[in-house]
Structure 1
Amino acid sequence: MPVSIVLFEDNDRLRESLAYLLNSDPEYTVTGDYNNCNQAVEIIEELAPDVVLMDIDMPGKTGISGVAMVKQTRPDTAVIMYTVFEDDERLFQCLCAGANGYLLKKTPPARLFDAIQEVLNGGAPMSPNIARKVLNSFQQKTDNLYNLTDRETEVLQLLVKGNSIKVIADALNMAFDTVRSHLKKIYLKLHVNCGKEAIAKALNEKLI
């Protein structure tokens, strides 16, 4: 079955273009597109999409509220923010609300397809500018309050860049299960349950 996608975007022209682009590939299908997320709970309950592309600045409820609504309704649905905003505050708020990825609207179309696959594989796709912001914030504090090892730090930095476990394993020349083991230890030390919570904590506390 194709990957089902729901769009929340108030720019009608952009929303229609995104729907056309995604529907042009038989591996994807846009099952719904909306100019606001005010009824996100009902929409997600009805359509149960695999992925949601969510704008931030929309009439009524913001996309930040929309992320929380989607994740509370169907935690398994992956949410990728698709926005023009690059500021730290909105980025952090989206991650804390449960966003799985954060792409800027200037992202090339091919990267959008890659991001959807990454998020489905457990990654946290981000535009390069956003990944740099996260890393800069991540590296501002030199005190390692959570006693992460050098290797755990390397794994976490690659996770922050939006890489999947497989990509991290390839980059560090480690086995897939070894990376998973490192991630479990990282989550335990940071007192979080998943990758997006680890990224959010890194932003909030400016770890390492």
Structure 2
Amino acid sequence: MGRDIRIVIIEDDEIIREGYALLIGQSEGYTVVRSYASFDDAVKTIGDDSPDVILLDIELPGTNGIQAIPKLKKMLPHAYILILTVYESEKTIFDALANGASGYLTKNTAPSKIVESIREVKDGGGPMSVNIARMVIKSFQRNQESPLSKRETQILEQIADGKSRSQVAKDLFIDLETVRSHIKNIYLKLDVNSRADAIKTAKENKLI
């Protein structure tokens, strides 16, 4: 048996942070070196922690998780970053993976799967929650000749999932007026006049 996998947790919710630390710390072969409430706190001493795997939330005070990934990769090039968040928007997922995250789990993931995923990522795997993996696969199955921009596609997918315009704005970190403008462009491009027709046309043409 080799040494324990060294883990650092960066999560702003104290109860969740302590829960993860307890869960992982009680598992054989794992050591939680330290946990932090933000990247801005972690940056001072994380280099001394020498983690193998960093469990990283996305919504953090100060520098958010997406912004933190490339900084962590630069500081700790041999550490693997495993995202653990409530966010499931396609943009957030792809931004995290493009920035260097090695895996992406949502917080409703079973505790045993979280522990298992830490080892998987350490062994070079790319663990993802089932719903996240499904979303990634779906994005590759879309019609590549779509008239819609990437942002318009994201918005239409969220609307198709039943989200309101204000929910879409919140999930994508944009203002409501921007969402309205994109929806207007979607209607024009698809030559439709309603949400239902936009969704129907997009699905028939594999645009979402």
TM-score band, normalised by the shorter chain? 0.5 to 0.7
Q: Which residue of 2 aligns with 1:182?
A: none
Matched, 1:103 2:105: yes
Q: Which residue of 2 aligns with 1:138?
A: 140
Q: Which residue of 1 aligns with 2:33?
A: 31
Equivalent runs, 1:51-200 vs 2, <5 Å? 51-141=53-143
Q: Give the greater-gyration-radius structure (CA).
A: 2
TM-superposition CA deviations, 1:37-80 (whole Å, max 9, x none): 11443333111100000000011110111211111111110000
Q: Is the 1:71–1:77 Cα contact (8 Å) retained in structure 2?
A: yes
Code of the residue aligned with 1:26 in structure 2: it is: E
Q: Is the 1:40–1:69 Cα contact (8 Å) retained in structure 2?
A: no
Structure 2 CA distance for aligned equivalents of residues 9 and 114 of structure 1 = 19
Equivalenced residues, count = 144
Cα RMSD (Å): 1.6
TM-superposition CA deviations, 1:99-155 (whole Å, max 9, x none): 000000000001011111111111110000000000000111468xxxxxxxxxxxx
Give the gaps of 5 or more residues in structure 2: 146-208
Equivalent runs, 1:13-32 vs 2, <5 Å? 13-32=15-34
**TM-score with structure 1 setting the length:** 0.66
Structure 2 CA distance for aligned equivalents of residues 102 and 25 of structure 1 = 21
Q: Which residue of 1 aligns with 2:45?
A: 43
Q: Is the 2:81–2:103 Cα contact (8 Å) retained in structure 1?
A: yes
Give the gaps of 5 or more residues in structure 1: 144-208
Identity %: 39
Q: Which runs of 4+ in 1 moved over 2 A?
A: 39-44
Code of the residue aligned with 1:6 in structure 2: it is: V
Secondary structure of the corresponding residue to residue 105 of structure 2 = strand
Q: Is the 1:19–1:33 Cα contact (8 Å) retained in structure 2?
A: yes
